A and B are shown apart, each in its own frame.
Chain A
Amino acid sequence: MTTKKSEPEITHEEDVDEKDVSRRGFITAAALSTAGLVAACSGGDQGDASAENADNEPAPAVPATGGGSDFDVVVIGGGMAGASAARETSKAGLTTLLLEARNRLGGRTYYAPFGDHNIELGANYLYWLQPHIWAEVTRYNLPIDDTPAAVNPDRWIYLKDGKAVEADIATFWPKVDKAMTDYCAMSREVFPRPYDTFHTDEWKKYQDLTIQDRIDQLDLEDDVRLNLNAIWSIMSHAPCKEGGFLEMLRWWANLGSNSIDFNNAVSRYRLSNGTISLINAMLDDSDAEVRLSSPVSRIAQNGTGVQITLEDGQTVTAKKVIVTSPLNTWVDVEFEPALSEVKLTTSRERHVGAGNKLHAKTKQDIGNVFLTADDGFGPMQYGYTETTGPGGTTLLSYGLDGAFDVNNLDVVQNMLRQFLPDVEVESTYGYQWLYDPFSKGTWSTLRPHQFKLVPELQRAEGDVHFASADIATMWRGWMDGGIEMGVSTGQVVARALVS
């Protein structure tokens, strides 16, 4: 463990007296003890290791550090990218501190209690064709739930000119399936190796196309076109004229270019114990210190290391920093020297993912339904039954309007009544990611011109590295992409510091 020179941020537990400490002091102490707490809570012996760290006693042998930094590595952000990055550097023997702005881990995954059960307010689905996250499922032996209802609806109702139309699934789905396949016809030529998206130059032919541009190239029946729009708009979580065609084409290529795997990947398999079970597994498997409620406001490099300043003025130094905060939030942190123009501009422009996701419970059993609407209808493009029974149906609904009043019973009920006129909604809830300053949006879909910028967005600037699902290569926009970036960047940093 690195020798700490001056460390106002390390509070020794013995010094903490419940009565005399000011609230501010307390917050600090509490936040700091989290380091150990995380380890202590999540089981394993790290509790003791971290306790030792907190007591500033020598920690287990680590590679020669020197340089006088508080930590070898500081990881900013405690989502999939941050947790996996911190595990890599810690397992390489580097002293690692993870700073998380919120008072919980998980980032855009959030397994939260709601009523009598827990729900995933952010990401829920994963699939075995997502190599990075599936490797974690294998490694930590994480159980998986199957929610087959979403891919086997009994009724498919879509909005056309404001009216509900019920599809004959047996004849309609093959048409939509063909339209999706035609839309993605060139996926293997453009992405023969989806893990290396620039392997050929084929992408250049399509780099200016939006999703809508590509839909317009196809000769489709109106109702098929409408549903193709619904599917791609919800997958990109933005109106079809915003997201880049290459983004969704990449998903299709990642999944072996077929709709069965596509549907399975986007709405079927979940972690039985919630996304937090993976975050905890990764951090349990490391000696990284974790501090919650620690928003970073400034990252400054002076040639010999990096100084990280928290919102409350505390500072920490590190040899290298891994920034995993969302692309859309990079502009809110002060970098010294300033970030490259491309990084800043892209962060300011944002990726397009900014819609809503809500969980609704109906009073009646409405059965196994699938609801769609095109991107002209803001509240919902894609809704489906998760579970259903005599006690009612739980629906998951995704829409493009991130400001939609997802928590308003009447508003949500009126929206659903456009599809199912008599439905009564008992409860509804959605986390409004767009309003959260530490996400400023949902999952990343890049705009057409941003595709070619990915290598620059991923490029380290001096000792500051960038690893976010938002800028991943293969499963950009997914938990898998977070782990792809966390693991690969953690390894780059480890190789640089351990050698």
Chain B
Amino acid sequence: MSNLKLICVISVGAIFLAAACGGEQNNETAAPAPTPAPASENNTADAEVGAPARGLTEAFDEMDASCDQALAKTTLTQCRVCHSFDAGKPNLTGPNLFGIYGASAAAGDNFAYSPVLRESGLVWDEDTLNKFLENPPQFLPGNRMAYGGVRDAEARKSLICLLKALK
């Protein structure tokens, strides 16, 4: 057993591992049937499953009652192609977003952020999230989120509501 495999297991590189294994990374509870992982003793994308973690289920339960849950859910489908949301889940194409509300930009673990986001000095609150999510390429030119944004103000509001409860 090589040290390399050990690294696989402690899963610092879980995202890299997952990406390398062909996109079977999406193992969030709420995400329906990820494609079957290749039969390999080295596939550790599931390594964190054991830890009891908070995540989307709780956030939906606990989000402010005045917010549009259904809208948040549909809008979130797009983010889920690139982001994981449950605590401890590996990063996907984008960083894991558990606890993003109130955090400084580019502070997630083990994610290689763009220099622009790293040096933005932003703290994610209602205002900054709203502006960023409306039009990411315009708000932060040179950022690496290949996503045009959520133009609908109500949809953004519901999403931010959800992110607030995701902690």
Contact = CB atoms under 8 A, between A and B. Distances in A.
A23 B7 contact: no
Given A41-B42, A103-B15, A407-B148, A33 B112 contact: no
Contacts of B19: 103-105, 292
B137 A435 contact: yes
A54 B7 CA distance: 12
A201 interface: no
A406 interface: yes
Interface size class of A (residues with CB under 8 A): 35 or more
B20 A113 contact: no
Interface stretch (A43-51, A160-168, A298-306): A43-51
B112 A293 contact: yes
B93 interface: yes
A102 B19 CA distance: 10
B148 A436 contact: no
A437 B137 CA distance: 10
B2 A407 contact: no
B7 A13 contact: yes
A407 B5 contact: no
B23 interface: yes
Interface of A: 12-14, 16, 18, 23, 26-27, 29-31, 33-34, 36-38, 40-43, 47-48, 50-51, 54-55, 102-105, 111-116, 118, 121, 274, 276-277, 280, 290, 292-294, 311, 403, 405-411, 427, 429, 431-433, 435-439
B142 A437 contact: yes
Contact of A435 (B17, B93, B148): B148
Given A30-B7, A435-B145, 4 more contacts: A18-B10, A29-B7, A55-B2, A433-B146
Q: How large is the interface on B (under 10, 10 to 19, 20 to 34, 35 or more residues)?
A: 35 or more
Contacts of B112: 27, 31, 103, 293-294
Contact of A408 (B20, B34, B150): B150
A179 to B, nearest CB: 34
B10 A293 contact: no
A294 to B, nearest CB: 8
B109 A23 contact: yes
Report whether over half of chain A's contact residues are helix, strand or loop; otherwise say mixed: mixed
Nearest to A39: B20
Nearest to A433: B146
Contact of B31 (A113, A408, A431): A113
Contacts of B22: 42, 111, 274, 276-277, 280
B115 A111 contact: no
Q: Which of B19, B38, B144 has the most CB of A within 10 A?
A: B19
A314 to B, nearest CB: 12
A274 B24 CA distance: 12
B21 A41 contact: yes
B47 interface: no
A121 B147 CA distance: 13
B151 A411 contact: yes
A311 B113 CA distance: 11
B100 to A, nearest CB: 16
Contacts of A111: 22-23
Residue in B7, B12, B93, B147 with the greatest tally of chain A CB atoms within 10 Å: B7
Interface string B45-88: 00000000000000000000000000000100110010000000
Contacts of A432: 146-148
B35 interface: yes
Interface in B148-166: 148-152
B99 interface: no
A116 B32 contact: yes
Nearest to B25: A113
Contacts of A23: 109-110
A432 B16 CA distance: 22
B136 A30 contact: no
B14 to A, nearest CB: 8
Nearest to B136: A435
A124 to B, nearest CB: 14
Contacts of B136: 435
A241 B38 CA distance: 46
Contacts of A429: 77-78, 81
A290 B40 CA distance: 19
